[in-house]
Amino acid sequence: MRLLVIGAAGMLGHDLLAAARGAGHEPVGLDLPEIDITDSAATTAIVRDVAPDAVVNCAAWTDVDGAEEQEELAARVNAEGAGNVAAAAAAAGALAIQISTDYSFDGTATEPYTESSPTKAIGAYGRTKLAGELAVAEAATPDFAIVRSSWLFGPHGKNFVDTILRAGAERGELKVVHDQVGCPTYTGHLAQALVDIAERRLTGILHVAGTGSCSWYELAVAALDGAGIECTVTKTTAAEFGRPAPRPAYSVLVSERDDAPRLPPWQDGLAAHLSATRALT
């Protein structure tokens, strides 16, 4: 299978290329400046030339706080760009796989969100990603998969776990939000699931995230303990932390689909991340 990974230089894209090679496939990775997904015509031409069996769009505006001030620019990538990639994949006869987010939900639920749960984004980032979901479905029906995941971390990009480990080692004392709960997801595990989705040509919306849930505080404590870093961690609230963009208070994702890939527990993902990070140093 020839798998085109757009956004290949990013944290998930890097692991996806490795997972595809490990499964015996032929991955092709592209990122800026080789491809600009906001340019529809150029994107269509590039995808046609690669002639992939599936296209995974990992490219995104991921600055959640920055999107509040620059929603139009974020939408060009997360909404229009996603639609451009899906249309290009459809024109090439390829499956379009779009990476989406738990920020498609407002976080007011008291039980996990499934694929059929009503969506309602509460911030600019979530709105642009949700618009991207709609653009992909419109451009590539029926050959599309929208994969919602959450709280990504991996050894090849900026992420919460590494930020906590660095800050904990430097400061010895941290305050971490405890009133936001989600599913931490290791990009190495998600990448393998994306290869599986491409192989089986699954379509529609799929929730694929680390099994189980925790708060940011609980993730921070587990990461520091796993890395052997002594640090005092105290709880704070999202309101006290005062970030510019609103974030879902509860964004736990589960799948109601029997055919959706199931990831290992988030604790296993954390252990795999710590091991991979140590191997790189």
Task: Give the tokens for residue 142.
Answer: 């029926």
Q: What is the pLDDT of residue 173?
A: 94
Residues 49/50/52/57 CA torsion (nearest 10 deg): -110
**Which of 190, 75, 96 is closest to 139 using CA atoms?**
96
Structural contact between residues 96 and 55, judged by C-beta atoms closer than 8 angstroms? yes
CA 142 vs CA 48, 85, 136, 137: distances in Å: 19, 15, 10, 8
| C-alpha Rg value of the chain to the nearest Å | 18
**Which of 33, 128, 24, 31 is closest to 83 using CA atoms?**
128
Give the contacts of 141 (CB within 8 A, at least 6 positions apart). none
Query: What 3-state DSSP class applies to 21?
Result: helix
Q: What is the pLDDT of residue 242?
A: 82
Query: What CATH number belongs to 2-215+243-280?
Result: 3.40.50.720
Q: What's the CA gap between 58 and 205, in Å, rounded?
A: 16
CA 28 vs CA 33, 34, 78: distances in Å: 15, 12, 21
Count the neighbouring beta carbons within 10 Å of the beta carbon of residue 210. Answer: 27
CA 138 vs CA 4, 83, 97, 131, 198: distances in Å: 21, 8, 13, 11, 19
pLDDT by position in tens, the chain (length 281): 999 999 999 999 999 999 999 999 999 999 999 999 999 999 999 999 999 999 999 999 999 999 999 999 999 999 999 999 999 999 999 999 999 999 999 999 999 999 999 999 999 999 999 999 999 999 999 999 999 999 999 999 999 999 999 999 999 899 999 999 999 999 999 999 999 999 999 999 999 999 999 999 999 999 999 999 999 999 999 999 888 899 999 999 999 999 999 999 999 999 999 999 988 87
Q: What's the CA gap between 209 and 193, in Å, rounded?
A: 10
Q: What is the pLDDT of residue 281?
A: 75
Q: What is the pLDDT of residue 5?
A: 98
Burial (CB < 10 A; 0-12, 13-18, 19+), residue 238, is middle
pLDDT digits (tens, 9 = 90+) for 5-14: 999 999 999 9
Q: What single string gives the DSSP state of each residue in 164-216?
A: HHHHHHHHSEEEEE-S-EE--EEHHHHHHHHHHHHHHT--EEEE---BS-EEH
φ, ψ dihedrals at 104, nearest 5°: -70, -10
Catalytic residue among 103, 113, 125, 250: 125
Domain boundaries, the chain: 2-215+243-280
Annotated catalytic residue 125? yes
**Encoded amino acid at 249, one letter:** A
**Strand 152-153 to 185-186 pairing:** parallel
DSSP character at residue 80? I
